[in-house]
Amino acid sequence: MSQDSFILPHTADPPFYLPELKFDHCDYSPDIALTIWEGFGFSADRLTTGLSQKCSQGGIEEYLQQFPREEVSRSLEHHAEGPRIMAYAVDTENVEIVQLLLGYNGDASSKYFDDVPLLAFAIMRVRRNEHTSLEMIKLLLSYGANPLVIPREMWKDYVNTPIAMNYNSDKMSSSERWCVHKYRFALAKELDLTTRYYLWKASRLRKPARRMLQIAEASKMTALLRLPFRIIGQELAVKLVIDTVYTHMAQDTEKPLVMVFAGATGHEKTELAIQMGSLLSVQNITIGYTHFNSQTAQFGSIFGDESNANRTPLNSFLVDNHGKRCVVFLDEFDKADDNTLNALLKVMDDGTYRDRRWGADDAELDCRRVIWILSTNLGNDAISGFHSQYLAKCSNEDVANISIEPLQSELEELYMSHFPPAITNRIDAIAPFFPFNKGEQAVIAHKFLLEFIDEIRRPINERANRLVGHTKIRMVEDGKVCGEVARKWYKEGLGAPSIYKGVRALRRKFVLKYADTDDLVGDSMDEGDHERYVIQLNPTGEDRELSISRE
């Protein structure tokens, strides 16, 4: 493994390809070759070669675990070795491997070749496979990659497509100096709508203080601080949830945490609960109250009779998570009757609960570490009115300065009149979820469109009757395309699913265009170039129309 192999060639084109590195023992599989090493101690060169040879995540983990963590961390912190390792890690396209190395103090803000930031490399290398790795970009940002290394004028108005030539080199900040002409063109092409959105979002987040990180690490909740990169919109709700869960876990409180997620359907309430559980690495369950009409349906009979032999989902979940941190999401909580609600009082108060399975003993379960989330659209009129009066009138940059305390007080008064007072008294925080603004609506449309585009990239498979595939779709000015989908389809009372209906309409239009040819589909098509299509917004008189055409 010669050091000369790490020197990138100087070419007229940006270096989107890293030089391939090879093991001396090239007759073995990469995972085996990685473990055959001479001498002692961790080798940054060997790890980099393993990444270049696309060793598996398991192979990389096995190699790293042979050495003291501090030894690996020192190499990743080294001014030369660390950036090179991280560049090759990003080049694997394996988010788990990159996250593994970031956990060893890998630097998400490092620079490698030609002074190009790692974040920029992750964005520009899309040119190699015509497919943005949004998860990789969000991961780097969530681990502290500085969004300001990407010229701000290219994403500050994230709905607008960036223009490569629209810049003044004299006004560039020091963090943008690397972005010379050739890189700027690549960035302008590869900065899609969702990437621009998360750069904008990252620029608004305050870097956590060192003590905050210390407490988070001790309480095993560091990953919770990455929650903003898992949710589109809902900036105020996300911050409230992070603050509430963080302070609760930091104090290791002996009582369960109870929060209300309030707002219209389809505005990320369920997704936020799922992502919170995922980041905390705990189990979560969703219980829908449209299906429960009694406490027996919720927990089972209080007598533990034979009807409980198969256990109810909530009873089973609490049993399986005895003494553990977990998340229980109670959807449409306002539809439960008083008896059903009262059955929750004790477990939400002191965190104790008796297993109701048939044949179970009378021992109480420890549910003090449960995070209860009560989801409801009760109070949605108040939330919508607050949004219209305050949030809808301010700029995106000023949203964080709006106090939601008056709205929370109004919602609490409403819940006291609807729920038994004992339930309302157990609520620690109320997180209102607001309608999406126009930019967020466009990003949601982009998310659904990317899922569709990924789906039709799959190979043709005649045996599986998958005849729509091996196709690439390009969006011309994706902000305009997605903004138009949202404008026509978004309904405040329905949220993201209403936008998905618009994307489904586009899918139908594409399939009709795809089928409008006498050329038959077959597996052999997978060996040739992809069929290419374009989605764009065309003006038609006073109206606008989204069109799909062959490229």
Question: What are the tens digits of pLDDT across the range 173-196?
Answer: 888 888 888 788 888 888 999 999
Is the pTM higher than 0.75? The answer reads yes
Tens-place pLDDT, residues 489-526: 999 999 999 999 999 999 999 999 999 999 998 989 88
How many angstroms separate the CA atoms of 464 and 186, rounded?
38
Q: State which fold the 438-550 domain adopts.
A: Helicase, Ruva Protein; domain 3 (1.10.8)
Model confidence at 14: pLDDT above 70: no
Q: Is 105 left (phi over 0), alpha (psi -120 to 50) or beta?
A: left
Q: Where in the chain is the domain with CATH 1.25.40?
A: 3-203
Least confident of 141-150, 348-357, 481-490: 348-357
- Which long-range contacts link 29-34 to residues 24+ away (Cβ below 8 Å)? 30/54, 30/55, 30/56, 30/59, 31/55, 31/56, 31/58, 31/59, 31/62, 34/59, 34/60, 34/63
- With a pLDDT cut of 90, the percent of the chain lying above it is 52
Q: Which CATH architecture has domain 3-203?
A: Alpha Horseshoe (1.25)
Tens of pLDDT along 215-249?
999 999 999 999 999 999 999 999 999 999 999 99
Q: What's the rounded Cα separation, in Å, for the pair 488 and 438? A: 11
Instruction: Please name the residue that has the structure tokens 């803000």.
Output: 109
Range(s) of the chain covered by CATH 1.10.8.60: 438-550
**Cα angle 89, 93, 94; round to 5:** 75
Q: How confident is the model at residue 201 (pLDDT cuts 50, 70, 90)?
A: very high
**N- to C-terminal Cα separation, the chain:** 44
Tokens of 511: 């399939």
Confidence of residue 411 (pLDDT cuts 50, 70, 90): very high
Contact in structure between 482 and 449 (CB atoms under 8 Å): yes
pLDDT value of residue 178 = 83
Higher pLDDT, 547 or 400: 547
CA dihedral angle for residue 376, residue 378, residue 383, residue 384, rounded to 10 degrees: 110
- Which of 90-94, 101-105, 260-264, 298-302 is least confident? 298-302
Interatomic CA distance for residues 387 and 273, integer angstroms: 22
Which region among 350-359, 500-509, 533-542 has the lowest average model confidence (pLDDT)? 350-359
Instruction: Name the residue with higher pLDDT: 538 or 299.
Output: 538
Q: Which CATH class is domain 210-433?
A: alpha beta
- Spatial CA neighbour of 318 closest among 364, 358, 254: 364
At residue 20, the pLDDT reads 86
- Tokens in use for 324? 């553990």
How open is the CA angle 159-164-169, to the nearest 5 degrees?
A: 115
* pLDDT at 547 > cutoff 80: yes
